[in-house]
Structure 1
Amino acid sequence: MPTELEELVGFLPSPNPQIRQLALEHLVGYSVPPHNTVFMTDGLKPIKHLKVLVNDAAARAKNALTILVNLSESPEVQKTLVEDDKFLELLMTEITDTTYPNADQVAMLLANISQSPVFLKFAMAKRKAPEGFKSELVIDQLMDCFVKGAEGTLNKDANFDYLSYVFANLTSQDSGRRHLVKRQEYDGVIPIEKLVVFTEHKSDVRRKGVASTIKNCCFDVDSHPMLLDPDGVNILPYLLLPMMGGEEYSDEDTEGMPEDLQLLPPDKERDSDNSIIVTHLESILLLTTTREGRDFMRGSKVYPIIRETHLALGENDDVEVACDRVVQVIMRKEAGEGEGEVAPEDERAIVEVL
């Protein structure tokens, strides 16, 4: 005898929309452990039904998407979703539709399934550019949704914040990060340049995803000069500003400090999420991989800012460790600057540490 939950799952493909609606409404709460195994039966047939329902009426599609978001934490479910090109195309059709009411649920689902390395192939593939989009690349269309859609300006029902996790996942692979640090022909902009402006955004999700994306891009050592160039991406102020409060610095400390970081108001607040500050510190550490990067940090007076961050947040073990690692690198003497000081044979060893 099937259980009540199994009977509800069996109603998902019902031709009666009211029955589908009732089934979905009741099943949302059971899409998390320990009850979610009911969706993993019969060769994942319930997942196949849910994929179809994503294209149902908006209210039913929202519930189907919510269930899939919860279930896609499972590698097995993630795999069956990410390997279905037709389903991925459906998700792209929906998220780039500026009138689609469930775009944020689609963004959440993409954030989960993009954890699979397989998703990168789809992200770098071409599809017809929807109305209002210029690039045929999936990754560029997602970037435009994320950047133009902040604050509900592209779609009144969506903010696209969770796409920041998609970019973080994509940049965990070489080709993904290379795309974000290369100027794109369709708009003449380096994608990472569009993201850094969100390091102090009000959304915790957006800030966290962007911070991780930036860190991943910093693993591309060859792009460091462009990232640090004040006339290029000028990434340093965007990494330092979130960890700064309203401290006053001496003239000696501020000489050489980026102008955007000087004379901050006394009520300036640090990022409330210490994990984001740690991620920014790790990005800074990566940017010190080369001698040029370390010299740039010294000339930009990074040390006084790290010092004040440590004083304010040093009780947090992760922040303390991250601060100490940066200080040890930028304050050490380089080869030839002090007796007994030897520079590491491989300046890129920092990349391997992180």
Structure 2
Amino acid sequence: MDELDELIAFLDDSRPPIKQHAAELVQGLTGSPEGIAKLAGRSAKLLPPLFRLVPAAEATSRAALVALVNLSQEPEVQQQLLALNAVGRCMDYVREKSCPGRNDLLVMLLANLTSLEAGAEALLQVGKGALEGLNVAVLLKLFLLPVAPNEQDMYEHVATVLPNVTRFAAGRRLLLQPGRGLLQALASQLRSSSELRRRGCAGAIKNCCFSCEADGTANDIAAEGEALALILDVLCGISGKEEDESVRESLAEAVLCLARVDDARKQLWKADAPTLLQKGYEFEENRTVCACMEATAELFLSDGFEPAPQEGGEAVQAAEQAAAAAGQMLGGDALPLPRQEPPRVVIEEID
């Protein structure tokens, strides 16, 4: 037995101070890539006793959790943690409040584990009948609780979990359940002071829009008027510029995905999207965002701007103004164009 094996054995020692010291030493080793690689080679022996310390006294538990978060960056460790039902056990600890003051670390661990398909499915409880989606619903409820100005944001990293789970239909269905207002709630986070919250929510919204046609949810998303207005406002900088380019990229791609669906595009017309996008385009420097805005403008131009006769002169005038905005984005006159296949912008899901 070498020194590392002895250290791992001390994690199961009957004396709490010894266990704490061993956990702290393991945590220290995970502070460097070399230490992580060394411990990962012993993960089969290390992970079970280390995970057993999660509900221990605070100092021991915190050291064990930090070590697990750091180690769970490694694919082999992720697989072994999933085999130990780490996702389910973390959610049990969150629900039971077994680790007060450490839920942020539990959520960080979940964020790393849900980067794998098996981890995301475990959190979503796919195939578990009435339980499906319960874990994510619990995390969403905690994520959306207000955070006081001087209070630690214990659930900020749920924003990293959301793009992971929305790669799957079960996750998207949960967020888009009619009447629950979750899309609006996520859109409201686009004005959070937390960059992580804004990025994660923008990524989750993009994933929902990316698959909206295949999922049959495009109309449901577009019908969320308040959420759509917030998305356009943040993307176009109407109430204030979003400095994070990744947030703007995700939202621009989300709007483009919606615009590719005819009925959803009608809702974008009603939200005055062409005019808002034109305003945002004037000051946009990010190439990806500009390309998405241009492709969206092409889709608006292809519609021909023919409001229903019963909508009257105001609708015609609004359509003409929106047409002018779309045309300006493309550097040309706002004349009705024959319907055609618009330029394609390749969009990938947020991981």
TM-score (norm 1): 0.76
Gaps of 5+ in 1: 130-134, 247-267
Mapped contact 2:11–2:22 kept (Cα < 8 A): yes
Q: Is the 8 A contact 2:160 2:200 kept in 1?
A: yes
- Does residue 240 in structure 1 map to residue 232 in structure 2? yes
CA distance 1:301–1:139, shift in 2 (3 Å): same
Q: Distance in 2 between matches of 1:320 and 1:340?
A: 21
Q: 1:36 to 1:302 in 2, by over 3 A?
A: same
Equivalence for 1:249: none
Q: Percent identity?
A: 23
1:298 to partner: Cα distance: 3.2
Where does residue 91 of structure 2 map in the other structure? 92
SS in structure 1 at match of 2:191? coil
Aligned match for 1:202, one of 189, 193, 205: 193
- Kindly provide the CA deviation profile for residues 223-246 of structure 1, in whole angstroms up to 9, marking residues without a partner as x: 2222222xx463211212223446
Partner of 1:151: 147
| Mapping 1:157-236, distance limit 5 Å | 158-183=153-178, 189-218=180-209, 219-221=211-213, 222-229=216-223, 232=224, 234-236=226-228
Q: With structure 2 as the length reference, what TM-score do the two structures score? A: 0.77
Q: For structure 1, which segment, 213-222 or 136-145, has the greater mean C-alpha deviation from structure 2 after superposition?
A: 136-145
Secondary structure in 2 matching 1:199: helix
- Segment of structure 1 superposing worse, 49-58 or 14-23: 14-23
Specify whether residues 233 and 173 from structure 1 end up closer, same or farther in structure 2 by C-alpha distance, changes over 3 A only: farther
SS at match of 2:219: helix
Seen in structure 2, the aligned counterparts of structure 1 residues 352 and 318 have a Cα distance that, compared at 3 Å, is closer
Residues of 2 paired with 1:168 and 1:340: CA distance? 37
Q: 1:310 to 1:29 in 2, by over 3 A?
A: farther
Instruction: Flag the structure with more relative contact order, 1 or 2, with Cα contacts below 8 A and sequence separation at least 6.
Output: 2
Q: Is the 8 A contact 1:104 1:159 kept in 2?
A: yes
Partner of 1:22: 21
Instruction: State the number of aligned residues.
Output: 313
Which one of 301, 312, 322 corresponds to residue 331 of structure 1? Answer: 301
Equivalent-residue separation in structure 1 for 2:133 and 2:235 (angstroms): 37
Confirm or deny: 8 A CA contact 1:103 1:157 kept in the other structure. no
- AA paired with 1:64? A
How far residue 137 of structure 1 moved from its aligned partner, in angstroms, is 2.0
In structure 2, the residue matched to 1:297 is 268
Post-superposition shift, 1:281? 0.5
Contact 2:302 2:336 in 1 (8 A): no
Question: Which residue of structure 1 aligns with residue 114 of structure 2?
Answer: 114
Measured on the aligned residues, the alpha-carbon RMSD in Å equals 3.3
Aligned counterparts of 1:128 and 1:69: Cα–Cα separation in 2: 30
2:281 to 288, 310, 319: 310
Runs of at least 5 residues in structure 2 that lack an aligned partner in the other structure: 307-333
Distance change >3 Å, CA 191–CA 243, structure 1 → 2: closer
Contact 1:66-1:105 at 8 Å conserved across structures: yes
Letter of the 1:95 partner, please give it: V
Q: In structure 2, what is the equivalent of residue 139 of structure 1?
A: 136
Letter in 2 for 1:225: N
Alignment CA distance shift 1:146-1:128 (3 Å): farther
> How far apart are 1:160 and its partner, in Å?
0.6
Structure 1 residues 16 and 199, CA gap change in structure 2 (3 angstroms): same
Give a deviation string over 1:44-69, Cα, whole Å, max 9, x none: 21122221111211221112111111
